[in-house]
């Protein structure tokens, strides 16, 4: 890849699916490290806090420092800090709240500044969505950790946060601030940490819209992998075209 000095790499669907590492993924990370490329991981995963993601990567055999992992809750916390507001209603699942607890009051009181919604799985109920809806109608702003349509797990495709974000937008007439991929501020957070410009970086992902579309909008190159949620028809129908498509991240060695 000409002029590329660094990589932004998606996690889910690129390094692993479920709790299984994709064959050859570890070797590819070792290879880019050995060849002195800079790299960071940008994931729209919003079901786990950053520390848990790092631990799971380690249990799959990846040697990745926690500071290299960028997830939407980090960007949301930066957003709250900028706004100087701290009262949140979290519509999330698992231990994602741990990414917020240093900075925010995640309470159920009546004065809420931000409703923050991620891929909350079973926590998305009529009641939890309706509580979020009421906070928004009372003046809270909406932050979407991501607005993906779906993701791939070993059992099949799963609805992501996007459809529910859109439901809240539809009901309230408000527009969510998206802090995960493909938002510019999210990519910038990782680029700044790498010390590279967008035109020096290639994004590797399995989502044609958030990974490849987001990268191209930023001026990065986009490498699509045929693992994870990759679907040929979604790529054929998308306006955005990847710079390169590879069968899996294991093939990275062929294009470096």
Which two three-digit tokens encode residue 240? 């955005």
Closest approach of Mg ion to the CB of residue 43, in Å: 7
Q: How far is the CB of 16 from Mg ion (least distance, A)?
A: 10
H or E segment at 53? Answer: helix 50-59
Cβ-in-10-Å burial (0-12, 13-18, 19+) of 192 comes to: exposed
Whichever of 104 and 201 has its CB closer to Mg ion, that residue is 201
Q: Supply the minimum distance, in Å, between the C-beta of residue 18 and Mg ion.
A: 12
CB of 149 to Mg ion, least distance (A): 12
Query: Nearest Cα to 87, choosing from 110, 113, 109?
Result: 113
**Exposure b/e, 43-74, CB count within 10 A at least 16 = b:** bbbbbbbbebbbeebeebebebeeebbbbbbb
Q: Tell me which DSSP letter residue 211 carries.
A: I
On whether the CB atoms of residues 55 and 108 are closer than 8 A, the answer is no
Name the minimum Å distance from CB 115 to Mg ion.
Answer: 25
In the complex with Mg ion, the residue whose CB is nearer, 119 or 206, is 206
Spatial separation of the C-alpha atoms in residues 163 and 177, rounded to whole Å? 15
Of 13 and 213, the one with the shorter C-beta distance to Mg ion is: 13
189, 74 contact by CB (below 8 A): yes
Given the complex with Mg ion, which of 70 and 89 has the nearer CB atom?
70
Least Cβ distance, residue 80 to Mg ion (angstroms):
25
Residues near Mg ion, by CB under 5 A? 10, 12-13, 206
Nearer to Mg ion, 45 or 172 (CB): 45
Of 12 and 119, CB closest to Mg ion? 12
13 vs 72, which CB is nearer to Mg ion? Answer: 13
Cα→Cα distances 243→6, 15, 17, 224, Å: 15, 20, 23, 8
Q: For the chain, how many residues are written?
A: 256
- For the CB of residue 116, give the shortest distance to Mg ion in the complex, in Å: 21
β-partners of residue 244 are 223
Nearest residue relative to Mg ion (C-beta): 13
């Amino acid at each position: 890849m000409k002029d590329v000095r660094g990589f932004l790499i998606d996690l889910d669907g690129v390094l692993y699916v479920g709790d299984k590492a994709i064959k050859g993924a570890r070797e590819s990370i070792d290879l880019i490290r050995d060849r002195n490329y800079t790299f960071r991981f940008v994931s729209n995963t919003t079901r786990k806090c950053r520390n848990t993601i790092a631990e799971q990567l380690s249990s799959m055999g990846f040697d990745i420092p926690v500071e290299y992992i960028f997830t939407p809750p980090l960007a949301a916390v930066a957003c709250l800090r900028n706004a100087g507001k701290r009262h949140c209603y979290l519509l999330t699942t698992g231990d994602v709240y741990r990414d917020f607890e240093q900075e925010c009051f995640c309470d159920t009181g009546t004065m809420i500044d931000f409703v923050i919604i991620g891929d909350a799985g079973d926590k998305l109920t009529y009641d939890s969505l309706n509580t979020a809806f009421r906070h928004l109608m009372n003046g809270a702003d909406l932050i979407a950790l991501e607005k993906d349509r779906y993701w791939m797990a070993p059992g099949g495709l799963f609805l992501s946060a996007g459809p529910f974000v859109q439901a809240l937008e539809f009901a309230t007439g408000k527009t969510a601030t998206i802090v995960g991929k493909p938002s510019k501020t999210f990519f910038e957070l990782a680029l700044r940490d790498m010390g590279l410009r967008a035109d020096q970086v290639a994004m590797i992902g399995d989502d044609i819209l958030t990974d490849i579309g987001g990268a191209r909008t930023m001026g990065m190159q986009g490498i699509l992998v045929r693992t994870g949620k990759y679907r040929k028809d979604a790529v054929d129908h998308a306006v955005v075209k990847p710079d390169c498509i590879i069968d899996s991240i294991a093939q990275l060695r062929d294009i470096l």
